[in-house]
Structure 1
């Protein structure tokens, strides 16, 4: 791999780093020799990344040449928007407070070179900002109101690096480039790279440790390089060809930001951002199923002006759900008229709309796991003993019990259950979904379609075992190849 540092004028980069070529920006844009070197990696330190400037075109053409530039055009656009900077940096708040609280000043500026900072006291913050906004040199400004917040972050040109930082920049760059070379040697063409997003510190991940190991093993078996990444690695997504999310998803959450960023970078993504948006909102699902005639419990979308219609429309008891409820959290069973109005009003304090449904008592819920519009696995999720849900929570919201799980083959499952599940999932997309169905006699009702369904060792994989993971990895490989071919044909 050849490493190119691109600057407006080589005199702007008076530093010598072994094995690195310093290239004038206009030469990189116009010299055909640079376009034929497929193994090059470009580090763009031009003076401006303004739209259609020389610096902008360096990153744009580097991406077209397969040179994986830092920064890439998506990062350049992100850094132009204060709203996007604020959105992407939301998850850094705890890190910012820990790092900067000891300071007595009201303002602080942090210089970051290849993910490191000269002061040496802010390694974690520097690395996380670099992972969010991958550019060779960054300058972040923080201000203190009641607490510290990130005011701005911007890329800096080679000419803006002060002389006293030069030795540190050489060391940081050398360290970074040596790491790049080690990673590149691990990959051999035509292998592709898959990232699996899993943050161990997050509660209720979508797969346990053993299942993640089986995902890794299956990925390697089909020829994919695989790496487990965490929520701190959003800036690294351009290194990969595909992303599998195994953290529990939500819209106002880092998982959605990962899906959006990965899709924008051209990665194959499961769960894709569109599926997350659709599946995590019960109001949307209720309207979608009704519109397309998919059988579901009798449902009413509730607002403050139609609370009185719940009992007459659905009867009691009924179930009321927050739009983004999950794992039985935010789902309430209402037994009588006395509790109805105060309970619903309390839920409406968090959302303008909630979903009310008729109560359908069953011994278990069917869960049909679907990927690429095919049913892969089926489970019976049994209710907790003497409870109406598969998960029982105490008054504080903590889990107090979970029902048992029985796994079946698709062939053992009633055809109507599979048919209904596929019809519901097809309305969302071709990703990985878990469709929950209640069966009362011959009637099948879709309770919800979940993106990012749980796949845990010994449960969802109990029938297919390693075959379940190979099926999903095979889907990834096929989509990556198809995506690369389509891109090449364009």
Structure 2
């Protein structure tokens, strides 16, 4: 676990701060070899100023160069140079701001945010929101109401500028931030490493059900982690962890990718890593990658929007499968029975994408799914097609999707060719956790997709190896930290 540091200038070092944290001056941080040799530091920069080329600026700059996890980061400080960007970010959360401030009596509100915490509990959501957007220790936000509430000013403060009545909140906020909120009152002793599991409680079809998440927490604690379940609102807390496990459906244009990139840049062990998300979520990339390495897949064609008028469909065999490049969980996948349906689907897909994949349809009763962890098979499932449907998930209508049955077999009972193909394909992506969808026609196997964020549900993928499924994944995180 990283050592915790607070860097303060001059007489500010007399401030009321957590007792179990090392407090040093900028000059000591700059010159002492102790802080130059080790990357294992989490640092809160509480200098008087963060302006360009100030002492505070150089503390954050050197911390990043040394590989320390520092808050605030240089990129955050740069954001304050562009007030228009601040206002644009605030507009993205218009509803949150209007709802939280609607009962304010005055037309002006000054809000002091201490690492996400504020004095008035009714404004806590706004405090968390601002801290997630702009991660500095102390933040002053000014809102003014005209026709509606608007964020008119946002700037960092130092300890001397902090109102006296907020010093207690600041001390508590530092303790929570450095130790990990929700762990302060636990009775068990501190473990060596901290792991966060990212979930979305509102997701309709999450990659892990609630019982599976509970199993991951137990398994993580068993192998030596302090485990927290976090959501997208906890982005600012990533710096306090050593590992991140994403159990929310991933996409590049999504906060899950932002979490993965942030975690990787901070030196956390992360699954799914950002490279795997990039490679797996785009079906055009996957198709070309597998083809280049002569991995068997159904026949496919890449159709370009600007070449649609020149499309030669004579070689197509119907029905044919059409895929949006970044669909997930069988979404963005359609079947065309003839050329008329083909053109209709293409017209729809081309509204949001320049490319579409057309793929040979291989009808089967089930799809194989091979779970691969660090280039080794972990589990093998058969996902059966939804009733009266050609996919394992039927997204018809506005209600809940209908899913087919599933069963799991022991890895050693699965066809060797199936396992070898899955491992060979995922080795082209990385050494993380993947779910490989494979069709079987006769004795031949064909890769359909490689998922960077595979389903791991209690009662399905764990049918054979039970709790070992969860322990194996948690142990892999631990092995990469040791």
Query: Do Structure 1 and Structure 2 share a fold, with TM-score over 0.5?
Result: yes
**Is the CA contact 1:45–1:156 (under 8 Å) kept in the aligned structure 2?**
no
Q: Which residue of 1 aligns with 2:173?
A: 176
Question: Offset of 1:321 from its aligned partner?
Answer: 1.0
One of 352, 355, 361 as aligned partner of 1:353: 355
Q: Which runs of 5+ in 2 are unaligned?
A: none
Which has the higher mean CA deviation after the structures are superposed, 198-207 or 12-21? 12-21
What CA deviation, in whole Å up to 9, does each residue of 1:423-479 have, x standing for no partner? 211111111111101111122111111111010011001111111111111111111
**Is the CA contact 1:114–1:172 (under 8 Å) kept in the aligned structure 2?**
no
Which has the higher mean CA deviation after the structures are superposed, 118-127 or 408-417? 118-127
**Is the CA contact 2:115–2:174 (under 8 Å) kept in the aligned structure 1?**
no
Question: Offset of 1:257 from its aligned partner?
Answer: 0.6
Question: Offset of 1:94 from its aligned partner?
Answer: 4.3
Q: Which residue of 2 aligns with 1:390?
A: 392
What CA deviation, in whole Å up to 9, does each residue of 1:153-181 have, x standing for no partner? 442233544xxx2222x121233245456
One of 162, 165, 174 as aligned partner of 1:167: 165
Written as runs of structure 1 = structure 2, the 5 A alignment for 1:246-395 is 246-304=247-305, 305-306=307-308, 309=311, 311-395=313-397
**Is the CA contact 1:7–1:158 (under 8 Å) kept in the aligned structure 2?**
no
What CA deviation, in whole Å up to 9, does each residue of 1:35-68 have, x standing for no partner? 9999997542323334553113334556789986
Question: Offset of 1:192 from its aligned partner?
Answer: 1.2
**Is the CA contact 1:134–1:236 (under 8 Å) kept in the aligned structure 2?**
no
Written as runs of structure 1 = structure 2, the 5 A alignment for 1:82-231 is 92=93, 94-100=95-101, 110-118=111-119, 120-140=121-141, 153-161=154-162, 165-168=163-166, 170-179=167-176, 183=183, 191-231=192-232
Structure 1 residues 29 and 95, CA gap change in structure 2 (3 angstroms): same
Structure 1 residues 265 and 40, CA gap change in structure 2 (3 angstroms): closer
What CA deviation, in whole Å up to 9, does each residue of 1:381-432 have, x standing for no partner? 1011221111112244x44421000101111111221122112111111111
**Is the CA contact 1:91–1:254 (under 8 Å) kept in the aligned structure 2?**
no
Q: Which residue of 2 aligns with 1:486?
A: none
Between the aligned partners of 1:216 and 1:244, the Cα distance in structure 2 is 11
Q: Which runs of 5+ in 1 are unaligned?
A: 482-490
Matched residue of 1:203: which SS?
coil
Between the aligned partners of 1:280 and 1:243, the Cα distance in structure 2 is 19
Which has the higher mean CA deviation after the structures are superposed, 309-318 or 422-431? 309-318
Structure 1 residues 355 and 32, CA gap change in structure 2 (3 angstroms): closer
Matched residue of 1:419: which SS?
helix
Question: Offset of 1:96 from its aligned partner?
Answer: 2.8
Question: Offset of 1:79 from its aligned partner?
Answer: 5.7
Structure 1 residues 242 and 34, CA gap change in structure 2 (3 angstroms): closer
Question: Offset of 1:128 from its aligned partner?
Answer: 3.2
**Is the CA contact 1:300–1:310 (under 8 Å) kept in the aligned structure 2?**
no
Structure 1 residues 256 and 32, CA gap change in structure 2 (3 angstroms): closer
**Is the CA contact 1:433–1:450 (under 8 Å) kept in the aligned structure 2?**
yes
**Is the CA contact 1:392–1:400 (under 8 Å) kept in the aligned structure 2?**
yes
Structure 1 residues 15 and 370, CA gap change in structure 2 (3 angstroms): closer
Structure 1 residues 448 and 104, CA gap change in structure 2 (3 angstroms): farther
Between the aligned partners of 2:285 and 2:108, the Cα distance in structure 1 is 44
What CA deviation, in whole Å up to 9, does each residue of 1:110-157 have, x standing for no partner? 331232334554111102322454322013466889976767744223
Between the aligned partners of 1:319 and 1:39, the Cα distance in structure 2 is 50
Structure 1 residues 465 and 40, CA gap change in structure 2 (3 angstroms): closer
**Is the CA contact 2:408–2:461 (under 8 Å) kept in the aligned structure 1?**
yes
**Is the CA contact 1:377–1:409 (under 8 Å) kept in the aligned structure 2?**
yes
Q: Give the root-mean-square deviation of aligned CA atoms.
A: 3.7
Structure 1 residues 167 and 242, CA gap change in structure 2 (3 angstroms): same
Matched residue of 2:249: which SS?
coil
Matched residue of 2:205: which SS?
coil
**Is the CA contact 2:42–2:239 (under 8 Å) kept in the aligned structure 1?**
no
Matched residue of 1:357: which SS?
strand
Structure 1 residues 136 and 464, CA gap change in structure 2 (3 angstroms): same
**Is the CA contact 1:208–1:456 (under 8 Å) kept in the aligned structure 2?**
yes
Between the aligned partners of 2:380 and 2:238, the Cα distance in structure 1 is 32
How many residues matched? 475
Matched residue of 1:329: which SS?
coil
Between the aligned partners of 2:369 and 2:152, the Cα distance in structure 1 is 46
Between the aligned partners of 2:100 and 2:159, the Cα distance in structure 1 is 27
Question: Offset of 1:7 from its aligned partner?
Answer: 4.1
